[in-house]
Amino acid sequence: MEKYNTLKNKRDYESFIIEIPNEIKNLCQLIGKSQLNFSEEEVKEVSNLFIDFNKDELFDNKLKRILVVYVGEFFKQHFGGNWVFTGLKSDSWAINEPVITNYEGEGMRMSPSEWIWGMFEKNDENHFIENITYMNDFQKKIDSVFCELFPKRKKK
């Protein structure tokens, strides 16, 4: 399975956005829940399920889309943001991917596919939680530095 090219084109992206609620329902069925709560336990459960799919070479584009939605919505719950399509831009490091932009503390686009492949490389059920923790800690450091440089700036 390719790391990128989750989507074929802009029309496929538009369909992806419309299908987000259905993909969430599909994941709920896979893990036997009526709804998702994005708790640490649930994130580990979902991570382990998909790590196993990948190890068993069952991770296909349909499952990839489900996991991209989950990781993106998990991220958005913590930092906000909007789904955007990268398309075939030559400057894009994630070609034909749905990514998150306009989020709190944004430094660059957040690519769920990058996070997913990072999890698979490490076989680490804690990968997504650790990324969120790292981003929160990094933002606190940035805020602290700015508060020292600009004393009128309020800490969050």
Is residue 100 a part of any domain in this protein? yes
Residues of the chain below pLDDT 70: 1-4, 89-92, 146, 153-156
Tokens at residue 84, please? 């955007």
**pLDDT for position 95:** 82
Is residue 114 a part of any domain in this protein? yes
Between CA 4 and CA 115 the distance in angstroms is 12
**pLDDT for position 94:** 76
Using alpha carbons only, give the angle 6, 8, 9 rounded to the nearest 5 degrees: 120
Domain membership of residue 21 as a residue range? 10-149
Between CA 51 and CA 139 the distance in angstroms is 29
**pLDDT for position 1:** 61
Q: How many residues does this entry show for the chain?
A: 156
> Which residues contact residue 131 at a Cβ distance below 8 angstroms, ignoring those fewer than 6 apart?
115, 118
What's the predicted TM-score (pTM) here? 0.87
Q: How many domains does the chain have?
A: 1
Is residue 112 a part of any domain in this protein? yes
Tokens 């805020």 found at: 143
Is residue 4 a part of any domain in this protein? no
Is residue 155 a part of any domain in this protein? no
Is residue 2 a part of any domain in this protein? no
Q: Is 99 helix (H, G, I), strand (E, B) or coil?
A: strand
pLDDT in tens, 18-31: 999 999 999 999 99
Is residue 3 a part of any domain in this protein? no
Between CA 105 and CA 53 the distance in angstroms is 33
Phi and psi at 84, nearest 5°, equal: -140, 150
Is residue 156 a part of any domain in this protein? no
